[in-house]
Amino acid sequence: MSEFSNTPIVPPSTAPGLAGWFRVWMKAVTKPNEQTFIDITEHPDAQPKTAYIWIFLVGTLSTIVTGLIQAILVAAGVSSQLGVQGAGSSVGVSIFATICASPIAGGISVLFFALGIAIVQWIAKLFGGTGTYDKLVYAVAAISVPFSLVSMFLVPLSVVPYLNICTGLISFGLSIYVIYLQITAVKAVNRFGWGAAAGSVLLPGFVIAFVCGCLVVVTLMLLGPMIGNVFSGINQSLQMAP
């Protein structure tokens, strides 16, 4: 376990509004060390409501930009890849629906983000962490927002042939880096080791995957006889056919 400073270096007051937010985001993603997240979370401006505003805005903006890019691709003739036929009125309806739905998407993003961080911090407490939800939600939001802004341009372009290979590789690399930053943030906020931090971040995903796998297995077991009867009936029909 690394040594932490007893007197964290609190950065000077950041510029108000978007300029100050951008400075926090860039520091979080370009200086991947524990002291960075200690500095960020010890600042007086590190409040959960700020993190929620960030996630809401980026969730809303991401929905709008993704919808607009998809509409442009449809209008440009990449409709078969998107599963949308025709441009014209379809594009206009798609843009209108996207703009109307974007605030809802932003609110849902905040809800799931807050729930996810609460689960991570709860697990961190079980591992002996001394941090708080308020600090962790701010630190992880500072990580998530800039990568979400990048991803909202990559995801729609992934439907373009050949270009999707590049966007897929970039997205994979960014995902690995985000996970590392999240583990670092959890370690810094909770003042414990790398193993506990990694477990706090990764364990929820493993649990969800395990539960989903169990649900799939149980569903297949329950529907197995029914599916077998359907195929048996089809087979008998084929045998009786002239």
What are the boundaries of each domain within the chain?
Answer: 17-240
What is the pLDDT, as a whole number, of residue 163? 73
150 C-beta neighbours (distance < 10 Å), count: 13
Question: What is the rounded distance in angstroms from the CA atom of residue 183 to the CA atom of residue 187?
Answer: 6
What is the pLDDT, as a whole number, of residue 224? 59
Burial class (CB in 10 A: 0-12, 13-18, 19+), 188: buried
165 C-beta neighbours (distance < 10 Å), count: 11
Question: What is the rounded distance in angstroms from the CA atom of residue 60 to the CA atom of residue 54?
Answer: 10
Name the 3-class secondary structure at 170. Answer: helix
* Signed CA dihedral, 8, 130, 53, 32: sign only: positive
113 C-beta neighbours (distance < 10 Å), count: 21
Q: Are 167 and 154 in contact (CB under 8 A)?
A: yes
What is the pLDDT, as a whole number, of residue 229? 58
What is the pLDDT, as a whole number, of residue 141? 93
Residue with tokens 């025709």: 86
What is the pLDDT, as a whole number, of residue 150? 86
What is the pLDDT, as a whole number, of residue 87? 46
Q: pLDDT (tens digit, 0 to 9) for every residue of the chain, 242 residues total?
A: 444 444 444 444 445 567 788 889 899 888 888 898 999 988 888 889 999 999 999 989 988 887 787 777 666 665 444 444 444 456 667 777 778 888 888 899 999 999 999 999 999 999 998 889 999 999 999 999 999 888 887 776 666 677 778 878 888 888 899 999 999 999 999 999 999 899 888 887 777 777 777 777 777 677 656 655 555 555 555 555 55
